[in-house]
Structure 1
């Protein structure tokens, strides 16, 4: 995109594109405190767990290193998506067909759960219940897309194939040739959603301590969590830290953090919006090996995410710009939406998802007393799954259990030690990039002809 390189440093947002630091920052924890449950991480999972536990009468403390929504919850693309389009090949043979159906049901239930909670907590996050389209940009992607949709339907998640005529009838931009339409879910503003959860938690009496880094914890019948300037004692500890969990000393052999990047355009003019079509504003993800995502926001900007994934040696998560990814995304913006010309980029940012080798959630218990609970492995599907996880963890802590939590229990494949991990992950990502680049070249040449 013309002018992007000159703008990129100015456009980079270390907080992500959806949130600002809250005007009512909660105090850092100082001294000693106690609760029924202490939760580390104030994103979708941590805040949802706190709300569900408080509704069941528990006294809850949430510890957050920065502020609520600073991590992946405030940086993602804002897709509320269900079970269609999962990486079925990575887990179906491992868990079997019946458990796979339950796992897909978990993803679909995540959509319904968030929709209920938006109404219950009165959260206005610009939710557009338009459904989602997983699209192809070249005919070579059709077989893979159809097979994925077929498998999703077989496992219980609805989808409808849209051919070129159906896509044009819906007004989808012409770069997207065909697609699988998923009627449930849609897009939202993840920053407004996570801040809405934060407000609801504070109203409910949850004590949130921001700017509070966890240093360590001591196991026992009562867990003691040590922070920079204080400590919390509670019978249960919940680690809702997703990609940051390995840095706390847990799940280092189960999940890896992957850096995902995004760009957002300046607001589109009325003429530019008209040139796009796209009247329902469905969120669009592509059938690449590393998907692209494209969506319109309520502020009439375009947000593009993913395109390239990066793994940082040693499972680190530096909060730094990724100029190469922003340039790739800008190129994709021009190729998918040439009618917009050299539209300017208003913001670019990066963040981290956690990924297990089977692309499934990693949820379980640790410690001799089994009173340290964790949830990670969102694999880019965190809006619905990590929100619903709050209900599952709350019911587990209160002793009743939930069938969907049982459905998620499986043996997560082990990751590799460094430097093998760095070599293996980046080699796999390099192959995916090569395959996707080939598809994009073919799509580009088809347009030229």
Structure 2
């Protein structure tokens, strides 16, 4: 059989700051399972863990290593809500189901805490997140959002005017911020490793270096690889933006987007002056900046999304310029680590979760920048549905999704053009 050596973890501060994990052996021949999951990221590992605890025989097929994709490279910010606005969900589902989805996003945060405590996952959790405004129109937008969340979702947030924000974020760039003490940040790769360890201890078989090349639909789906096939009662597709060709009907509903993060050297006492309360921060530009402190006092600074599947030119210089615009007193500080990865967005930025084939192939994609939080919920809801309790997953299937326009040949150029307009709007208005 043809073998595939998994790629090493891409260089990042995350990969450099954790102990190497023992590799899991690849698939070796054909297997039979109750559930077979494509992808050893947060969705796949959460589903595997919940199903194994319910007594299912679970196999996870991972093309590279555990947490190799977005689950191990992301910004680490755990934020309430979804990638789309509450208004988008209200327009499609009505306020009652939109409210249920909002509450489930809060449940997602609680799930992270429950799993950290139950499975002893040390992932450097810190409380606190702030959305910040750069321009007066964004101040108004944040006030309107706060009022709507308070009135219709019973979710109070703290408004920080410019002076109050300066005490927590002494940067000249921001006019105010909306603070949430229940959101926060974590070390994403440590969290992925912790979920995987818990799953393995409960009998889940994880096959690294095992790329799924196709799926055969039927009463018992078959996930095909070059190393063998896995026949199962239930299949789960949890590879998001990194899976292409296995389910073309899903590929058309998401767009892969590159995003980048830099890590400074440890900043010593200066770190506490940058973010005295250790909160995570994100602005509300379309092409946003987001940042937080690492456990060793580095600044982790993210942004500069790429919609063209190409790394932006002069990336290190561009990222440093963005950081210095937020923190001018870091003008002499650069990045010790700089890395990128791919997230998946849906056209309306709403989550795209459901079932295909004979309703026995489950999927979750379209996290649109909120995957650290709600991906664990996706795995939980899939596990619920496999066990016959599909009421919550059914709500997500009622969200209407459209293909990205332009087909394979033109959808990326069209999106690049659209994003150029939004970036111009951020700059001028």
TM normalised by structure 2 equals 0.91
Matching of residue 288 in structure 1 with residue 285 in structure 2: yes
**TM alignment of 1:301-380, pairs within 5 A:** 301-312=298-309, 321-367=311-357, 369-380=358-369
CA distance 1:172–1:109, change in 2 (3 Å)? farther
Counterpart in the other structure of 1:419? 409
Residue in 2 aligned with 1:437? 427
Q: Is the 8 A contact 2:352 2:366 kept in 1?
A: yes
2-structure distance, mates of 1:321, 1:311: 8
Aligned partner of 2:105 in structure 1 is 107
Q: State the match for 1:234 in structure 2.
A: 232
Label 1:428 to 1:147 Cα distance change in 2 as closer, same or farther (>3 A). Answer: farther
Offset, 1:30: 1.3
1:133 and 2:130 aligned:
yes
Gaps of 5+ in 1: 1-12, 313-319, 440-449
- Give how far 1:231 is off: 1.1
Cα distance 1:73–1:15, how it changes in 2: closer, same or farther (>3 A)?
Answer: farther
On the 8 A contact 1:102/1:407 being kept in 2, the answer is: no
CA contact (8 A) 1:91 1:358 kept: no
Q: What is aligned with 1:253?
A: 252
Question: Aligned residue for 2:383?
Answer: 394
CA distance, structure 2, for counterparts of residue 170 and residue 295 of structure 1: 12
| Residues 176-185 or 138-147, more deviating | 138-147
SS at match of 2:80: coil
In 2, are the aligned partners of 1:75 and 1:351 still within 8 Å (CA)?
Answer: yes
* Match of residue 49, structure 1, among 47, 50, 59: 47
Q: Over aligned residue pairs, what C-alpha RMSD do you find?
A: 2.1
User: Normalised by the size of structure 1, how large is the TM-score?
Assistant: 0.87
Question: Alpha-carbon deviations, 1:162-203, whole Å to 9, x = none?
Answer: 111221344554433201111212010001100111111111
TM-aligned CA deviation for residue 341 of structure 1 = 2.7
Residue ranges of structure 2 left out of the alignment (5+ in a row) = 1-8
Measure the CA separation in 1 of the matches of 2:48 and 2:20.
19
In 1, the alpha carbon distance for the partners of 2:392 and 2:191 equals 24
Aligned residue number for residue 61 of structure 2: 63
Report how many aligned residue pairs link the two structures: 415
Distance (Å, rounded) in 2 between the aligned partners of 1:84 and 1:37: 28
SS at match of 1:183: strand
Q: 3-state DSSP class of the match of 1:36?
A: strand
